Structure 1
Amino acid sequence: MTAPAFILVRPQLGMNIGMAARAMGNFALDQLRLVEPRDGWPNPEAGPPAAGADHVLEAVTVHDSVAAALADCHLTFATTVRPRDMPKPVVTPREAAAMMREAAAKGLKSGILFGPERSGLTADDLAPVATIVTCPVNPGHGSLNLAQAVLLLGYEWFQAAAPAPAPAPEHAPAPHGEVAGLIAHLDQALDAAGYYHVPDRTPATRRTLARLLTRPNFTQEEVRTLRGIIRALAEARKRRA
């Protein structure tokens, strides 16, 4: 699948480039592009913070403009929290990830701009980009550092393709028939104990009990345990009688 390019525009510190590379490595992303890095490239300060994401750093490409870095991208995004007087669609990182996944399935490439640490992206940087990505954060403290922004977009990209983990067999919900058997067993025991002493309310009470027992998604072991409890209580009542 065509992975997106993460593009750091005029990054200032090699350490931040390394941390961005580390975040990308966490989520199987390896296309890191730099636009006019302040201290040039390669930068020895990027290596230690990358924490083993050397393959990302080794594949870095350097570009002299945003346009050059985006040249092969069919979908273009820019991360910013500041309002701009530009009529561009604004999406969340999750929505952007879904758009990129859909495009990637068709063989189309996406590119995401991240601004410099101190000032963020300029209006000129944003002009050629189709979509703005803004993270819904505390409006009183909405600034993310560079590596955090990269991590957030990388995480959403990775999660957009990850299937939901299947529950382990011992934690899988019991079949409906077994839960229905539990409900019938409890109903029988309550009836024998005289619980339904108001005939007019009995149907509603039975419905309430059925809802209570179906809501938790009991496992098979839990159903067997509950039925064992009901059986033990009923037998104890018989002995006392």
Structure 2
Amino acid sequence: LEDCSFVFATTARPRELVKPVYSPEAAMKLAAQKIKAGEKVAVLFGPERAGLENDDISRANAIISVPVNPEFASLNLGQCVLLTAYEWQRQTQEIADEVIELGKTDWATGNDVEALVSHYESRLDEAGFFFPLTKAAGMKVVFRNMFSRMPLTRADVQMLHGVMRQMVRWRHKDDPGGDVPENGPGNAPEK
């Protein structure tokens, strides 16, 4: 610690030493500020069996304590290091809250979703789904709204077109005269 200007000690047990106590988040925020200002900051972790001794903690400027259930306040060494390192990453790097890997597809466009909804509406109309007629318009709005809430990819849209095409084919499988157009109205072509 001889070349450090600020030292945090990690402990959960109450000590009879007067020190500011930080959460891991607040501690790493302060550490990042101090390091940015050119200071050298350290974090002391105690041994697994018993943690840091008071002599160790007396050499620190502040304490890091994880806000957990007070009846089970002690963390093992790995957990303490993990939490501190995680908070360090959060304070020093831009971390996305959510990332979606698209693989080999892209997000569906408004046109893609519109073609899908039109395809389903036309086939569901043919099947008599939107019944009674007095409620059909409202049902179509609810149906369209359902698709607008879904984050669909182009691959999702293509699969859903295929599902409907197969359902129509299956319905007509025993009807040799049944006409099932491949690219009829409301039936998007394969890509």
When normalised by structure 2's length, the TM-score is: 0.61
- Cα distance change, pair 204–134 in 1 and its aligned pair in 2 (3 A): farther
Find the counterpart in structure 2 of residue 118 from structure 1: 50
Deviation, 1:186, is 1.6
Equivalence map 1:11-90=2 (5 Å): 63=1, 68=2, 70=4, 72-73=5-6, 76-83=7-14, 88=20, 90=22
Deviation, 1:227, is 0.9
SS of the residue corresponding to residue 157 of structure 1 reads: helix
Q: State the percentage of identical aligned residues.
A: 29
SS of the residue corresponding to residue 161 of structure 2 reads: helix
Larger Rg: 2
CA distance in 1, matches of 2:158, 2:11: 54
Find the counterpart in structure 2 of residue 177 from structure 1: 111
CA distance in 2, matches of 1:98, 1:177: 45
Deviation, 1:226, is 0.4
- Cα distance change, pair 144–234 in 1 and its aligned pair in 2 (3 A): same
Find the counterpart in structure 1 of residue 185 from structure 2: none
Q: Does 1:146 align with 2:80?
A: no
When normalised by structure 1's length, the TM-score is: 0.51
Q: Which amino acid aligns with 2:22?
A: V
Question: May I ask how many residue pairs the two structures share in their alignment?
Answer: 170
Find the counterpart in structure 1 of residue 183 from structure 2: none
